[in-house]
């Protein structure tokens, strides 16, 4: 049987790793270790996530020429080092930041870019950075692919940074044709996958940095299936895992055959090496083209024609997606852990009030860091109820964290002896005394202070700036209060299943929420029910609906008016809030960019305006 007729095989590994932004040397080392593991598992091709060497998203580091040059140098060095270590025979696809030297400072008069249809005019003060992936083999950088579709919505600003690519390289490895794409390219029908389908390829590799959002994994498999069908090729989708400031990446890497069969799926929220064995039937392979196809140019690069000696294929392992609560919990744990560890913080501290928010943050922190790195401080005031202290102590005892009690009365009295503060000013004073105490402990002991505000509070500004809003990280900032309760119940149920102590006091879950800044105060004095509040916030904040649509959705008009007013008025607080892990469709932070100075208030169109078509 000639080579042309033999089935071509390839073992592809998906290295779902947790990179660090800006850590070129560390990320190069990570690629070394995982490439060696993949080669040890018999892989011929290893795929890493998007921008492996720089981490993702590197944000304005991209504009630093020194960084871009270092990324290019790291890539070339990595190719050589892999070969030096005997890994030159394994093809490795890594993401990096590519750089064409700039033309110096901005000309006053900008020259046309050559891409006159560019809708986004990027910074003229730099060269041409690109979001790139390279295939390394035999000590060389064999091909470089430049991402074509640059997301510029939500948390993404890629049109700020990158120039889009126009070339689709296809590498023949052991007789198998492998095309390179990156992340967003996969979301566009008729994009690089469609072009690969017209060119004829066997495999499309897709390094990704696709942040976690609730239920996003439900979208990925159907999406990858459609692209595999369009490309008439197996799609190998490798996503990064880990936390980076406001984002957490869940992994969930996939390989899907052209007929839609799921060949492998990596578990979420852990580093993982998945392998998939491909067998390409030469009869099923269409004709091969190169050159201009649509808006791209397809290039072909021969590494090895000879098919591999036949080997017994192993079925890929397929992880089950997690349930909704477990998925969110693990997103929050990983987001918190990576923020603390990647920033080199030894430990965390926070106010433990006996309420559900701080009880949940305590449980998350212990899951993320272990009890020995977690410090809870009860800061009772004259308005604190008895159950506040007992529930806080219960929480600390269940989790085994470091616990102390510092009554705030002497500090509050000292302030009130110096200036007259009444009403809201007196309420906020208590919160700020707590914030100052906790920041003192943070500075004294090197703990990072966690803010315990939830999304409902952040939305309506139900928190004190520099008080309970103080902190370097806000683990549940994107978790609405109703979900805080649901997750807490789920976490306790999971503990019961495992025969462990429930980490969250039932009383913290059950009791009516209160800020306890005034006698007998309850959240329901100043806010609608959290069920109503969260439903309006989801529609107004996450979905950007206006007044007419909100009322059409059946919300109570009085509740809508109240919630929208509070959301609109508290933008200045959010602008100064700590980052927290995004889990929703739209999180406060980079994802939602509203002016502070903003007179727009939603209202129903007037009759006069309504009459205009």
Tell me the catalytic residues: 50, 147, 183
- Give 511's DSSP letter: S
Closest CA to 396 of 353, 425, 342: 353
Q: What's phi and psi for 6, nearest 5 deg?
A: -70, 145
Reported as type and span, the H/E element at residue 143 is: strand 140-146
- In three-state secondary structure terms, 172 is strand
- Give 119's DSSP letter: S
- Tell me the C-alpha to C-alpha distance, in Å, between residue 607 and each of 52, 70, 601, 610, 613: 56, 61, 17, 5, 12
Output the smallest distance, CB 544 to a copy of itself, in A. 5
Distance CA 595, CA 579 (A): 18
- Mind giving me the DSSP string for 22-61? T-HHHHHHHHHHHHHHHHHTT-SEEE--TTTTT-S--GGG
Output the smallest distance, CB 612 to a copy of itself, in A. 5
Cis? peptide before 438, omega within 30° of 0: no
Reported as type and span, the H/E element at residue 180 is: strand 176-180
Q: Which is nearer to a copy of itself, 103 or 501 (CB)?
A: 103
Start-to-end C-alpha separation, the chain = 72
Output the smallest distance, CB 320 to a copy of itself, in A. 21
Alpha carbon 502 to chain centroid, angstroms: 28
Output the smallest distance, CB 539 to a copy of itself, in A. 12
| Dihedral sign (CA 20, 25, 30, 31) | positive
Closest CA to 91 of 186, 156, 176, 167: 176
Reported as type and span, the H/E element at residue 96 is: strand 91-98
Output the smallest distance, CB 289 to a copy of itself, in A. 18
- Tell me the C-alpha to C-alpha distance, in Å, between residue 65 and each of 60, 103, 105, 162: 11, 11, 12, 13
Output the smallest distance, CB 411 to a copy of itself, in A. 4
Q: Which is nearer to a copy of itself, 400 or 546 (CB)?
A: 546
Distance CA 145, CA 95 (A): 9
Q: Could you give the residue ranges of the DSSP H alpha helices within 448-554?
A: 455-460, 481-497, 506-510, 523-526, 530-537, 547-552
Structure tokens that stand for 424 in this block? 């809201």
Q: Which is nearer to a copy of itself, 228 or 487 (CB)?
A: 228
Distance CA 599, CA 576 (A): 20
Instruction: Map tokens 């079925």 to a residue.
Output: 315
Output the smallest distance, CB 355 to a copy of itself, in A. 22
Output the smallest distance, CB 226 to a copy of itself, in A. 6
Output the smallest distance, CB 564 to a copy of itself, in A. 11
Distance CA 234, CA 577 (A): 44
Q: Which is nearer to a copy of itself, 500 or 544 (CB)?
A: 544
Closest CA to 351 of 492, 491, 487, 517: 517
């Amino acid at each position: 049987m000639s080579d042309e007729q033999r089935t071509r095989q390839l073992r592809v590994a998906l290295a779902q790793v947790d990179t660090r932004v800006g850590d070129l040397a560390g990320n190069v080392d990570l690629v070394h270790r995982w490439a060696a593991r993949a080669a040890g598992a018999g892989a011929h091709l290893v795929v890493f996530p998007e921008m492996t060497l720089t981490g993702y998203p590197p944000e304005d580091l991209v504009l630093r020429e020194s960084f871009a040059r270092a990324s290019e140098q790291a890539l070339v060095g990595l190719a050589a080092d892999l070969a030096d270590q005997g890994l030159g025979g394994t093809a490795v696809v890594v993401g990096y930041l590519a750089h064409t030297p700039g033309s110096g400072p901005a000309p006053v008069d900008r020259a046309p870019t050559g891409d006159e249809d560019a809708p986004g005019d990027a910074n003229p003060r730099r060269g041409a950075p690109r979001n790139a992936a390279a295939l390394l083999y035999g000590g060389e950088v064999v091909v470089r692919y430049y991402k074509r579709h640059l997301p510029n919505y939500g948390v993404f600003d890629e049109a700020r940074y990158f120039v889009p690519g126009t070339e689709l390289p296809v590498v023949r490895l052991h007789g198998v044709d492998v095309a390179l794409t990156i992340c967003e390219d996969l979301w566009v029908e008729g994009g690089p996958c469609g072009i690969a389908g017209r060119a004829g390829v066997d495999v499309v590799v897709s390094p990704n940095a696709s942040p976690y959002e609730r239920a996003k994994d439900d979208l990925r498999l159907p999406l990858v299936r459609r692209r595999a069908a369009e490309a008439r090729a197996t799609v190998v989708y490798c996503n990064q895992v880990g936390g980076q400031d406001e984002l957490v990446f869940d992994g969930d890497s996939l390989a899907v055959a052209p007929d839609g069969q799921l060949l492998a799926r990596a578990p979420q929220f852990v580093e993982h090496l998945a392998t998939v064995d491909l067998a390409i039937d030469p009869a099923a392979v269409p004709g091969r083209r190169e050159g201009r196809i649509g808006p791209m140019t397809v290039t072909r690069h021969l590494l090895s024609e000879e098919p591999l000696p036949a080997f017994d294929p192993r079925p890929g392992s397929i992880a089950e997606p997690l349930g909704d609560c477990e998925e969110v919990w693990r997103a929050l744990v990983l987001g918190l852990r990576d923020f603390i560890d990647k920033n080199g913080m030894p430990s965390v501290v926070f106010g433990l009030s006996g309420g559900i928010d701080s009880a949940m943050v305590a449980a998350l922190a212990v899951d993320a860091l272990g009890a020995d790195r977690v410090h809870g401080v009860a800061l009772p005031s004259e308005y604190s109820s008895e159950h506040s202290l007992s529930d806080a102590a219960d929480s600390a005892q269940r989790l085994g964290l470091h616990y102390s009690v510092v009554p705030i009365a002497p500090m509050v009295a000292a302030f009130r002896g110096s200036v007259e503060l009444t009403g809201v000013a007196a309420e906020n004073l208590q919160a700020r005394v707590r914030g100052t105490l906790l920041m003192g402990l943070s500075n004294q002991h090197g703990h990072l202070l966690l803010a315990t505000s939830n999304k409902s509070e952040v939305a309506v500004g139900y928190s004190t700036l520099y008080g309970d809003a103080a902190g370097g990280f806000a683990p549940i900032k994107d978790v609405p209060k109703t979900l805080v309760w649901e997750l807490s119940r789920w976490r306790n149920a999971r503990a019961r299943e495992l025969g462990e102590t429930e980490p969250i006091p039932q009383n913290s879950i059950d009791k009516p929420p209160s800020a306890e800044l005034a006698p007998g105060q309850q959240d329901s004095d100043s806010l609608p029910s959290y069920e109503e509040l969260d439903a309006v916030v989801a529609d107004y904040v996450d979905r950007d609906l206006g007044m007419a649509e909100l009322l059409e959705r059946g919300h109570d008009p009085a509740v809508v008016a109240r919630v929208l007013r509070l959301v609109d008025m508290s933008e200045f607080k959010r602008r100064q809030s700590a980052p927290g892990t995004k889990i929703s469709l739209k999180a406060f932070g980079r994802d939602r960019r509203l002016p502070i100075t903003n007179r727009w208030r939603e209202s129903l169109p007037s009759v006069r305006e309504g009459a205009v078509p």
